[in-house]
Amino acid sequence: MTRCSWLLRQGLPVADILYVTPEGAPEVFTPPASALVYNSEFPDRREYNFDGCSPENLMKNATVHNGRIVFPDGMSYRVAVLPEWNTMTPDLLRKVIVLVRAGAVVQGTPPVKSPSLVGYPKCDDEVRDLTATLWGDAPYQHERKLGLGRVVYAGLSTGLSVDDSSWIWYDEGEPQNSAPAGRRFFRTTWNIPNGAKISTALVAITADNDFSLSINGHYIGGGDDFHKTVALNIATALKAGANSIEVTADNAGDSPNPAGLIGAFAAVLDDGSSLVLKTGPGWNSAVTAAGPWLPAKVLGPSNMGPWGTPSTSTSIYPEFADTAQVLTSIGVAPDFTSSASIRYTHRRLDDGSDVYFVANASRAAINTQAVFRTVGRSPQWWDPETGVIRPLPNFTAANGKTRVPLVLGKGESGFVVFRGVTGPASHTAQNFPLHKAVETIAGPWRVSFDPHWGGPADPVTFNTLDDWSTRPEDGIKYYSGKADYAVSFSLPASAKPSAGRYAISLGDVKDLASISLNGHDLGIVWCSPWRLEIPAGLLKPTGNKLKITVANLWINRLIGDAGKPQDQRLTWTTGEFYSPTSPLQPSGLLGPVKLERKQ
C-alpha cells in the first residue's frame, strides 16, 4: 500500500477530456454514465480519462498551447466538453471563444440566454451573438472551424424511458412483496438484423437492490439505486445477429424483501431504423449462472408498487462515444485498452516517464494484450507487493502505441512503467514467469484452532480443504481467528529439489495466511495469486513439513455470538450488527495447495 500510494502521488494524471460544469450553485460534477465502465463493483474510466472543471477555474486559469487546454499546475486536455444547459454567461462564452481561436477543440450545445440579471436584457442578446460566433446559425453544422480551433455540435441528448417495460424477477412466490435475499440471474437474446450497422445504442436499467449488465460476455456497467435508471452506452458491445443480454441482480438484506428488475434497450441503425428491447415476456431467470433457466416472472408495469416508475437518468453531457469520436478525429488514440477487464490510471512524471497502474478487475486470472499510448521508452513491471522492478522484454511499439502482453492473477495489480530509452524487444520472451504445477498437496491436513476463541480444543483432521463456515461443528463454523494447517509431503520422482525454482501456491485463502516450510518462514500472503517462492536448497525429496497459518475475519464469530446470552459471548461490540441468521463468510484455507515450478 505504501509503494502504491507513493508512486500514485508522483507526477500528474493524464486526462484527455475536460468536462465543464454549469454555472451557478450548487453544481456537483457528475460525468455521463457512458463515460464509466463497471469492470467490478466500482465504476471506472474508459479508454480516455477525464476531469471536471468549474466555469470559474476555466475562465481564470485556462490557456491553450499546441492545441491543448493547459492549466498552471501542468494539467492539460485535448477537448473541453460544455454542459447541455440552456444558460451561459457572456463572460464564459467569451472565454470559450478565446480558447477555440487559440487552437482548442470544444464540444457542446449552444445556450439560449444568460443565467444572470447583470446587464439584463442586453446580456441575453450578447449570449445569442456569442453563440452564433461559436456555432453559427441554426441548423448547426456538426463541426465548425474558428481561428486555430474548432467547435463540435453535440446535439441534444434524449433520455431512454422504461415506461413501457415490465418489472420482472425469478419466479418464487410474489417477489414484489417478498423475495428471498440473494443473487438471481437473468438473460435474453436480442436479434439485430444480419448486416446491420449500429449507429447508437443505449440502455436504461435498474434493479432492487443492485445489478450488473453484460452483453455478449462483455461487462457493461451496474447500479444500486432502484429509484432511478442507469443509462449506459452499449453500441460497441452489440453486433449484427444474436446478442446475449445477461443481468446479475442482488436482493440485499438478511431476510426476504421486495425484488425486481426493469430495463429498456434501444438501438438506432445506420439506415435510420430503430430497435427496442424491454424487460418482460421472453426473459429467462435462474438461481445460479449455470441454470436451470426458467421463464422470468412478469410482476407488472413500470409504475407498480412498491417501486413506481424509476426516474430516467439523463446526463448534461454528450454520450462518451461521441466525445471519443471527436478525440479520434483529431488523432488522439485511446490512452489504454485491453482485451480483458483491467482497471487503470495513468500518470506522467517530470522526466517524461509514463506510469500506468493496472489491476485485474475480474474474478479469474487473465492473459491479455494491453495497449498503452506511449512509445520511445522501455516497459518495466514494478511489483508493489515485493518492490521488485524488472523489464518486460516482450512488447511491440508502433504508431504512437506500445502493446505489452500482461498476465495477472485474480485481483492482482501492479505498475507498468515506461522509462529510459527503448531497448530491443523480444517477441518470444515471457513477460511474466509461468508456474507449472508439480504436485497437488491434498492432505489429510491437521488443523489446530484456538480454543480461547471457541475453536476445538484438539486438532481436527481435514481430509479436504473445507470452508469453515460449511463445517457441522459450531466451534469451526463460527470460528474467527487463526488456525494452523500442518501436512507432510514428498516430491514426485520426476521433480528434483535442485532443478529449477519452486513456489507454494495456496489457491484461495479467506482471508490471510503465512507459510512455513521445513521450519523456514516463507512470508505472508494476503491477496491473489496467493503464492510464495521457496528458497533454493529448502525442499527435500521426502518428509517436507508444511505449515500454513490462516486468519479470517471476525464476522462469523459475531454471528455465532448473536444467538447467545451476553455472558456466553466471546466478543463485544457497541451495536448489534449481525443476527444469528446473517450469512456466514467463507473462511479458511480453500486451496487447492500446489507445489509449482517456475518456468
Q: For residue range 61-120, list pLDDT tens digits in order.
A: 999 999 999 999 999 999 999 998 888 999 999 999 999 999 999 999 888 889 888 888
Segment among 129-133, 196-200, 201-205, 330-334 with least mean pLDDT: 196-200
Report how far apart the first and last C-alpha atoms of the chain are (Å, whole number). Answer: 29
**Continuous segment of H or E residues that includes residue 134:** helix 122-135
Rounded mean pLDDT, 504-517: 96
Cα–Cα nearest to 587, from 450, 483, 434, 442: 483
Does residue 3 have a pLDDT over 80?
Answer: yes
Rounded mean pLDDT, 32-58: 85
Q: Are 462 and 444 in contact, with CB atoms under 8 Å apart? A: yes
pLDDT category at 500 given cuts 50, 70, 90 is: low
Mean pLDDT of the chain: 91
Segment among 2-16, 263-277, 374-388, 584-598 with least mean pLDDT: 263-277
Cβ burial of 498 (10 Å; 0-12, 13-18, 19+) is exposed
Grid coordinates belonging to 136: 453559427
What pLDDT is recorded for position 563? 84
How far is the C-alpha of 235 from the C-alpha of 199, rounded, in Å? 7
pLDDT category at 39 given cuts 50, 70, 90 is: low
Where do the DSSP E strands lie in 79-194? 79-81, 105-108, 143-146, 149-153, 166-169, 182-192
What pLDDT is recorded for position 543? 93
What pLDDT is recorded for position 36? 84
Q: Are 405 and 369 in contact, with CB atoms under 8 Å apart? A: yes
Q: Are 20 and 82 in contact, with CB atoms under 8 Å apart? A: yes
User: Given the C-alpha cell 425484488, which residue does it identify?
Assistant: 259
User: Given the C-alpha cell 477543440, which residue does it identify?
Assistant: 105
Strand order in the sheet with 366-372: 336-338, 366-372, 401-408, 396-398
How far is the C-alpha of 222 from the C-alpha of 224, rounded, in Å? 7
User: Which residues 6+ apart lie within 8 Å of 18 measured at CB?
Assistant: 50, 51, 52, 53, 69, 77, 79, 80, 81
Does residue 512 have a pLDDT over 60?
Answer: yes
Grid coordinates belonging to 286: 435462474
Domains identified in the chain and CATH numbers: 17-153 (no CATH), 166-301 (2.60.120.260), 335-431 (2.60.40), 438-598 (2.60.120.260)
What pLDDT is recorded for position 253? 85
What pLDDT is recorded for position 157? 52
Q: For residue range 183-233, list pLDDT tens digits in order.
A: 999 999 999 999 988 877 888 899 998 999 999 988 777 888 888 888 776
Say how far residue 93 (Cα) sits from the centre of its chain: 36
CA pseudo-torsion sign 175, 180, 182, 186:
negative
How far is the C-alpha of 85 from the C-alpha of 113, rounded, in Å? 10
Grid coordinates belonging to 563: 444467538
Cα–Cα nearest to 210, from 228, 220, 222, 227: 222
Q: Are 80 and 98 in contact, with CB atoms under 8 Å apart? A: no
Cα–Cα nearest to 417, from 501, 496, 352: 352
Type of residue at 417? V
Instruction: Convert 490-536 into a string of H (helix), E (strand) and C (coil).
Output: CCCCCCCCCCCEEEEECCCEECEEEEEECCEEEEEECCCCCEEEECC
Does residue 528 have a pLDDT over 80?
Answer: yes
Q: For residue range 441-450, list pLDDT tens digits in order.
A: 998 999 999 9
What pLDDT is recorded for position 499? 59
User: Given the C-alpha cell 485474480, which residue does it identify?
Assistant: 410
Rounded mean pLDDT, 321-343: 91
How far is the C-alpha of 561 from the C-alpha of 571, rounded, in Å? 7
CA atoms within a 13 Å half-sphere pointing along the CA-CB vector of 491: 17
| pTM score of the predicted model | 0.73
How far is the C-alpha of 127 from the C-alpha of 94, rounded, in Å? 9
